[in-house]
Amino acid sequence: MKTILVPFDFSTYSLAAFKTAQRISDKSQAKIICVTVIPSEIDWDLLADEAKQKYPQLMEERQEAIDILPNYMKSVAPAKAQIEQIVKIGVPFEQILRVAAQSLADLIVIGAYGRGYVEGNFVGSNLQKVIRFSSCPVLAVKKALDGNAFRKIAFATVFNPAGKLAFEKILPLAKLFKASIHLLFVNTQSNFIQSSQAELEMAEFGKGHEQFVIHRHVYNHNDAEQGIREFCDKNGIQLVGVVSGDHSHASMYVIGTTETLIFKSDLGILSLKA
């Protein structure tokens, strides 16, 4: 892991994301890039310098953020490593993803939620759109995860070939923290399979990864998301990886397991795509 991107909007949630990124950086020596976006429907990157002069308020807000950020970050979260700070103007999720692509970010750590969030208005939020469109893993946190939070990682999915591809992306993080991995299948009435079959499917995920401590769990519950939350609570797990579907071409975005867990729990949710 070489580069971690943290969207920063001065909220307590984005500060939690930054502190979480610091924990990962301390282990991996990864570079941290903080990106702060001044919200606007204008695509600032495409404007000529002359055209930008027509928006003095945006220019003033951008300069204010540039001036404030360095000392502010040092005061709230001192870091040994140098932090790159980028201030952009535009649609927040678009700018976040643009910087992630340009910097070849290996991971986005994002606060859930932040400035501009309205209670109950998760659909269409910048957080949801970052998860939806990001090509790299996205770790959403409501509170800072310390080193102990990374000692156990749950991985909850249907254990099929797509899930296995996503599982591979959780291994670098598990290796960094020498974490035990808890493969979890929540058995529901609507998606019921025999425990023996679930065990066999999970066993396939562990093949070739004998250097990791991998546990397999089948947990019965009538609701998959609630089952994940209950399992993590009973086992003292604060971080769970979930395979997020590719909705990039969908005309409407349906709330899935990833979003429900973020919305209804205080867990750190690592969104992974196959």
Q: What is the pLDDT of residue 161?
A: 83
What is the pLDDT, as a whole number, of residue 251?
A: 37
Query: Which run of H or E residues covers position 6?
Result: strand 3-7
One domain for residues 235 and 168: yes
Per DSSP, the three-state class of 141 is strand
Taking only the tens place, the pLDDT of each residue in 111-127 is 987 555 555 444 458 88
Q: Which two structure tokens, joined as six digits, stand for 228?
A: 């994940």
What is the tens place of the pLDDT at every residue in 258-270? Answer: 888 888 899 999 9
The residue ranges of the chain whose pLDDT is under 70 are: 81, 114-124, 245-255
Residue 195: predicted pLDDT = 80
Domain finish residue from 83, 111, 141? 141
For residue 222, give the 3-state DSSP assignment: coil
Q: Are residues 33 and 129 in the same domain?
A: yes
Range of the domain at 206: 147-272
Check which CATH number belongs to the domain holding 180 and give it: 3.40.50.620
Residues 204 and 81 placed together within one structural domain of the fold = no
Angle formed at CA 113 by CA 102 and CA 274, multiple of 5 degrees:
50
Nearest to 257 by CA among 168, 148, 154: 154
pLDDT for the residue numbered 253: 39
For 86-114, letters b (16+ CB in 10 Å) and e give bbbbbbbbbbbbbbbeebebbbbbbbbbb
The model carries a pTM of 0.90
Where does a domain end: 141, 172, 191?
Answer: 141
- Dist CA 99 CA 82 (whole Å): 18
Looking only at the bridges linking them, the beta strands covering 180-187 and 214-220 are parallel
Please indicate, yes or no, whether residues 61 and 40 belong to a single structural domain of this protein: yes
- Choose one of 125, 141, 157: the last residue of a domain: 141
Q: Are residues 202 and 257 in the same domain?
A: yes
Considering its fold, how many domains does the chain have in total? Answer: 2
**Cβ–Cβ under 8 Å, residues 88 and 37:** yes
If asked whether residues 110 and 224 sit together in one domain, one would say: no
